[in-house]
Structure 1
Amino acid sequence: MYKTRITFSYFKPFLYRSFSSSFSSSSFTSSTMTLKKERVCIIGSGNWGTTIAKIIGENVQRHNQLFEQEIRQWVFEEDYQGQPLTRVINTTRENPKYLAGIRLPDNIIAEPDLIKACRDATVLVFVLPHQFVRGVCDDLVTSSFSPDTKAISLIKGLDIKPNGITLFSEEIGRRLHLKDVAVLSGANIASEVAQEHFCETTIGSRADGQLFYQLFNTPYFRVNVIRDYVGVELCGALKNVVAVAAGISDGLDYGSNTKAALIRIGLMEMRKFGKSFFGGVEDNTFFESCGVADLMTTCSGGRNRKVAEAFARTGKPMDVLEKELLNGQKLQGVLTAAEVYQFLTARKMNHEFPLFDAVYRIIYQGAPLDTLIKL
C-alpha cells in the first residue's frame, strides 16, 4: 500500500528539438559512442500494446545511437484463422486480431515465450490488462534483471483492496527488484494513435525521463514528463469508473448537459480520492493529458463508455457485453469500481464519493440506472 507522503516538484516538458540536437551524431564523442545501447522489450500485444509497438519500433530506428534495433514483443499466443498469432504478426507485419490494417515496423519481433522475449532487456514496457500483472511478474522473477533495468507501466488500473491500494508501477518494481518504474497515461485511444492522429500523453517518472521521452515522443504523440507518477497512475485507473457513468448516461439518452455534469463530478472525485489517500499528488496532474483530457476522451469514445451504454440499453450483464463488443479486450472500469467501493466501504467513506458509489450499486447491486442523477 502506498501511503508515504511525498512532495513532487512539477517541471516543464522536455523539448523534442533540444533532445534531438543534444543527441545528434555530431555531438557524440568517441567515448559516448561506446556506451551500451538499450534493449527494449514490450510486454503485451493487445490493441494498445500493438499501437505502442508501432511507436517504439519507429523511434528506436530514429534513435539508433541509443537503442538496439530489434524489439521483442511478448505476445500471448492465440489461434488466428488456424495459425499462431505470433506467426501471423511476423509474416504479415500486422496484428489483425487487435489492430487490423496497421503495419508494424520490421524491427518488431512477436515472441510467444515471455522469458525469451525479456532476455537481456534493459528497458521493459508493460502494456497489458492489470489483472494479468502479477502472473507475468511471477513468471519473470527468475529472469534476474539488473536493478538498473528501466521499466515503464502503461497499465490503467490499481490493485485496490479493503486494507489498502497498490500502484502497479510499484508492484512491478517490488516483484522484479527494480529501482524505479515510470508510468505513461493520457488521452490515447489506440486506434486513433495508430492512425497518427495528433494527441498528447503524460509520463510520470521519479528518475530522469529523457530515455522514455526518446522512446515514446513523436510529432503526433506528444509526450510531457512530470514527477508525479502517483497522480498519473491514479488518473489512468479512476477515469474508467467515470466513463462507465458516462456510458450509462448515454444509454439513457440524457444528453450533453447531464454527461458534462457527471464528468465534472467524476473529476472532482478523482482529485479528492488522490488527495485523501496519496499525500504527494499534485493538482497540476489533473490538468495534464492523463487527467482531464483522458477523462474527456474516455467518456466520449472509450471501451468502458461503449459497454456501459449497451448495458443501459439492453440490460445484459457486463461480462456478456465485454465478450460481444470488445474482441478479446478487457474492461477496466467495472473491476475498478468494485475495488474502489470495497476500499471506501472499509473506511465508511462511500458517501463522500457519491458518483463512484452509484456506479458500483448500479452494476453490482441492481440499483436503478437513474441513481446517477440522484447523487
Structure 2
Amino acid sequence: MEIKKEIALKKIPTRASEKYRNFPMVPRVVFGNGSFDQLGEILLSKRKHSEAPVIFLVDDVFEGTELVSRIPQIFCDQIIFVSAEEEPKTQQVDALVDLIKKEYQELPSGVVGIGGGTLLDLAKAVAILLTNNGSAQDYQGWDLVRKKAVYHVGVPTISGTGAEVSRTTVLLGPEKKLGINSDYTTFDQVILDPELTQGVAKEQWFYTGMDCYIHCIESLNGTYLNAFSQSYGEKALDLCKEVFLTDLSDADSRDKLMMASWHGGMSIAYSQVGVAHALSYGLGYRLGVKHGIGNCLVFQHLEEFYPEGVALFHKMKERHKINLPKGICKELSEEDLNVMVSVAMGMEPLWENALGENWKSVITPEKIKSIYKKI
C-alpha cells in the first residue's frame, strides 16, 4: 500500500520548541479468554463505599443470558439494559445520567459498558456527564470537557470499532453527529475477553470488522501519518487480512480481530480517519445508518481516494458473501442530501487528514452528493 510519507513529514514537529500532543492511553488492560471473570476483583479496589454504586450499562441482547449472571453486582449496583439497535444519542446519554442522579445521592464508584461500540460510547459519555454539567451535546467537539469523568471500564463484546481504546465517544445529537473528543473520555480499564465475541451474526461481524479495516486504510493513507500511527495501523491491517482473507479457527479469528480492533483504534489516536468516516457521519445523522455498515456503504465507492484499499475491501466482501444494501439514498430529497453534505463537510480534521490543508479545492458539495447518490 502506498503511504503518503512525503506529506506526513510536514506534520511531524522537527524542533524541540514545538509541542507534541500528549494523548492519554488506556492505563490498564486485561486480555484473555475468561478474563471477564476478573471484573469483580478489578472493581473492588475502586468502590468508594456501599452507597456508591457501580452502574453496568449492558447491551440488551444479553438480557436473560448466562453473561448477566457473571456480572459482579453487589450492594446497590444497578444493571441497565440498553438497546444497541440505533446509534447512541446525546438525549440517551442525558436520560441515563438523569436516571442515575435521581436514584442515587452518591456519585457512582464507576460505570461499566458491556457490549459493542454503542454501549462503550454510551458508558464513556455517561461517565463524563456525571461530573460535568449540562447536556451531552454541549461537549460534542474537541477538548471541551473540563472535569475528570467517573471511573469507567469498557468490556467489548464485538471487535472492530476501536471504541475500547479511543479518546472519543461518537454521539448523534440534535444538530450533528460528532464525538466527545477529550483526554477524559478514554477508559480507565478495558477487559478484552475474546470469548465474549462468540455468536455474533456474520453480517455484524463483517461490518464491525470493516470499521477496523477502514480505520487502517484511512490512517495509513492520511496526511497526519507518523511513525506512531503507522506502526499500529500496519499491524492492525495485517491482522485484518489474516481474519478476512485466510482460513483461521474460530478461536484464532476472535483473538486476532480483537487485537486488530485495539491496534486500529490506536492507529488513529495520533492520527485521524478520513473520507469514509466523514461521509458515514452524514448517513448516520440523517438516516440513522449504523456506523459499521455506513462505512461499508460509503467505502465501496471511494476508489478515487483509496484504490488499493477499496479493491481489497471488495475481495473481502466477496469471500464472505456479504451483500450490501442498495438504494439507501435513492429517494432522498434535495433537502436530505444537503443536510448530509453539511454534516460530512463539517468534519474538517477528517478531510484535512485525507486530502491535506487544501481539501476544499478537491471536495465540493456536488462531489459528496454524487457519492451519496450511488449508495
- TM-score, normalised to structure 1, is 0.37
